[in-house]
Amino acid sequence: MPNYTVTVATGTQWFAGTDDYIYLTMVGSEHCSERTLLDKPLYNDFERGAVDSYDISVGEDLGEIELIKIEKKKYWIHDDWYCKYITVKTPHGDYIEFPCFRWFVDDNEVILRDGRARLPQQDKTRTVKQHRRKELEHRQKTYRWKEWHPGFPMSIDAKAHSELPRDIQFDSEKGVDFVLNYSKAIENLCVNQFMHMFQSSWTDFADFERIFMRIKNTISEYVMEHWKEDFMFGYQFLNGCNPVVITKCTEIPDKFPVTHNLLEDSLERGLTLEEELKAGNIFIADYEVVNGVTANSTDPCTLQYLAAPICLLYKNSQNKIMPIAIQLGQTPGHDNPIFLPSDDQYDWLLAKIWVRSSDFHVHQTVTHLLRTHLISEVFGIAMYRQLPAVHPVFKLLLPHIRFTIAINTKAREQLICECGLFDKANGTGGGGHVELVQKSMKTFTYKSLCFPEAIKARGMDNQEELPTYFYRDDGCRVWEAVTNFVTVVVNIYYDSDDTLQKDEEIQAFVKDVCSFGMQDFDFCEFPKALQTKEQLVEYLTVVIFTASAHHAAVNFGQYDWCSWIPNSPPTMRKPPPTKKGEVDLKYIVESLPDRGRSCWHLGAVWALSQFQENELFLGMYTDEHFIEKPVKEAMVKFRNNLAEVTKVIKNRNDGKKLPYYYLSPDRIPNSVAV
C-alpha cells in the first residue's frame, strides 16, 4: 500500500497550539485519501512550536496531490490553532510543501494548495479552478468594504478589532490597546502627575522640561536646545516628521504679497527676489488645506484654534533652508500681517510656532493617517478580496499588509473615533481631523504615491541644489531597491504584457482599489487596469514602499521632533496674532498646550514612535509563502541591496549632530502596524 508521510508545523505564537480534533484529507489527480484523524484531545500533539509527523497509508496511488484539506473540530473549549505549513512526502520520495500560516478557529476547515505560485490562466483542472473561485467568494463575503466617513477611502466592515477575521488580528490585542499604551507611556515618562491638569498653563519654556525626558545626544535633546533658531525651523521641512510639504517656489502667489523691499535684509547673495526665484533659492510651505477646518471644541473650558499659514523659505549661501516670511492666514490684509525675522523676537517666534503647529496637524492627519495608514488598508482589503493565496502577487504583498487592517480598526475604535484619544490633546480633534482628510482627498492622486515623481512634482529633485535633503536621497535609494526586487519577481511569473492583461485577478485587484477603495473619485487617477509589466512593477512598488518606507519616514521620528512641545504644539489656546508688537513670553506660553494636553501628546508621540515587539523589518520574510528558488534568490539579493543602503546611510550619519535614519532599511518595518 502506498505510504505518505505528512509533517505539520504549529506556530510559535502564544496559544498557537491546540488540543482539538485535527483531520486531514489529501486530494490527488487520481484519487482522494480517506479522512484521517491526526490529533485528538490529550494526545499532546500540535503544541506551540511543535513539528509533528504522521504516516498515512492509502489503498492506491493518489496521483499528483492537488489539494489538502485540514479540519479542526472543537473538543471542549475555545482553542484556536495556528498552522504554519504542512509537508507531504509521497511514496516516490518527493516532498510537497503546503504553506498555510492561518488560524483555525472553533470548527474550521481550510483547503490548501501546494506552495508554487500560479496565475489564474495557468490552472487547468476543474478541481483547482473551483477551489480558486470558492476561496475568493468566501474572502469577498469576509472582507467587506465600508465607508467610515463620506469622502474617505473605504475601510474594512468591522466596528471593533474583535470582529476582524482571526488571520488579520494582532496576536495579542493588549499589545495594541491605545489607551493602555498611552497610559504606560505617560507612566514611563514620569508625567502622570500632570496628565489631568487641563487648563493649567506652564510658566515659561523651561517649565516644559518638567515633562521632557532628557536623553543625552539624541535628536529630541538637540531640538529642545535649538528649536528657537531659524536653521532648526527650516531644517525640519527637509528631514523632520513631515518632509513632504516644502515646494520650490517659482512665483510668489497673489495671496502672499511679499516684495523684494520687504525681504531684502534676508537675501544674502545681492540678488533681487525675482532673481532668487529664478535661481531656485526660494521655497514655500503652504498649509491652505487647514483653512476653514473646525477647531476642537470638545472641552468647553478651553478654546482651541487653528491657522492656515504660508511660509516663505530661502536657501542661504551655506545651503541652509531659512524662513524669511510668514503669513498666518490665506487672505492678505491689515489684520493678517507678514511676519519677518527682523520683527520683535516674540512676534517672529510665535509666527514660527504657529507654522509648526499647522505642520503637526497636516502631518498627523494627511501625511501619516491618510497617505500611509488608510491607503495601505485599501490595498490590503482589495488584495484579500481579489487575489487567492496561490497568486504570486498575494504572496508578495501579504507581509506588507501585516496587521495594517488591525491597527486601523483599533484606531477607529479608540483613537480617532468620536470622543477618542485624539480629541484629548489635538486642535483638530472633535471632527476637524475628518474635515482635513476629506479636503486632502481632493488632491490625493496615485502618482503622488510614486516617490521619485512626488519629489520631482515639488521641484525638490536636484541633489546639487539641496544636498542635505536626506529624506529624498534615502527614499530614492530604498525605492530603487524595492523596484529592482519587484521587477525580478514580476518577470518570474509574467513572461509578457499579454500575460498580465489576461490575468483577471490582478486586474480585478487594481479595479477594486480604484472603484471601491478610492470610491472612483475622478481626481484620484488610480488606474483601473494595468497594461504593461512596467506598470505592474510601479504599482506593486507603490504598495510596498508606502506601507514600509514611507510610513517609517513619517512615523518613527515623532518623539524626536514632537516631544519638545513648543516645537510641535498639538493645539493652540489663543488665536493667531492679527497685529505686530503685542506678543510677549506670557502670551506665547498661554497659547501653547496646557499641562494635561502636553502630557497626553507626549504619551502619544512616545507610543507611536516605538517598534512592535518582534518587529519584521524590510526584506525579512519569515513566513515562507514562496517556495520557488528564483524568488528566494531574489529575496536574498533584495536584503543584500538593503544592507548596502543601510551602510551608506550609517556612514553619512557618523559624527552628525542631526543624523537622519528614518529611511535606513534596518529601521523600516515591513508594514503599517503602529
Provide the whole-model pTM: 0.95
- DSSP E strand boundaries for 566-626: none
Q: What is the pLDDT of residue 183?
A: 64
Angstrom distance (rounded) from CA 270 to CA 276: 9
CA angle in degrees (0–180, nearest 5) for 306-308-311: 130
What size, in residues, is the chain? 674
Angstrom distance (rounded) from CA 309 to CA 338: 10
Task: For helices 533-545 and 470-493, give the axis angle rounded to 10 degrees.
Answer: 130
Distances in whole angstroms, Cα of residue 257 to Cα of each of 328, 334, 358, 577, 579: 13, 12, 21, 18, 16
Q: What is the pLDDT of residue 47?
A: 85
3-state secondary structure 63-107: CCEEEEEEEEECCCCCCCEEEEEEEEECCCCCEEEEEEEEEECCC
Query: Could you please report the per-residue DSSP string of 315-355?
Result: E-TTS-EEEEEEESSSS-BTTB-EE-TTS-HHHHHHHHHHH
Q: What is the pLDDT of residue 435?
A: 97
518, 522, 523, 524: CA torsion to nearest 10: 30
| CA-derived radius of gyration, the chain | 28
Q: What is the pLDDT of residue 188?
A: 59
Q: What is the pLDDT of residue 80?
A: 86
Pairing of strands 108-112, 65-73: antiparallel
pLDDT digits (tens, 9 = 90+) for 82-104: 999 999 999 999 999 999 999 99
Q: What is the pLDDT of residue 422?
A: 84
Mean pLDDT of the chain: 92
CB distance 374 to 150 below 8 Å: no
Q: Which of 447, 434, 435 is nearest to 524 (CA)?
A: 447
Q: What is the pLDDT of residue 440?
A: 97
pLDDT digits (tens, 9 = 90+) for 628-669: 999 999 999 999 999 999 999 999 999 999 999 999 999 999
Which residues are within 8 A (CB) of 245 and not within 5 positions of it... i.e. 6 or more apart? 237, 285, 286, 287, 359, 362
pLDDT digits (tens, 9 = 90+) for 262-315: 999 999 999 999 999 999 999 999 999 999 999 999 999 999 999 999 999 999
Angstrom distance (rounded) from CA 279 to CA 75: 76
Low-confidence ranges of the chain (pLDDT < 50): 195
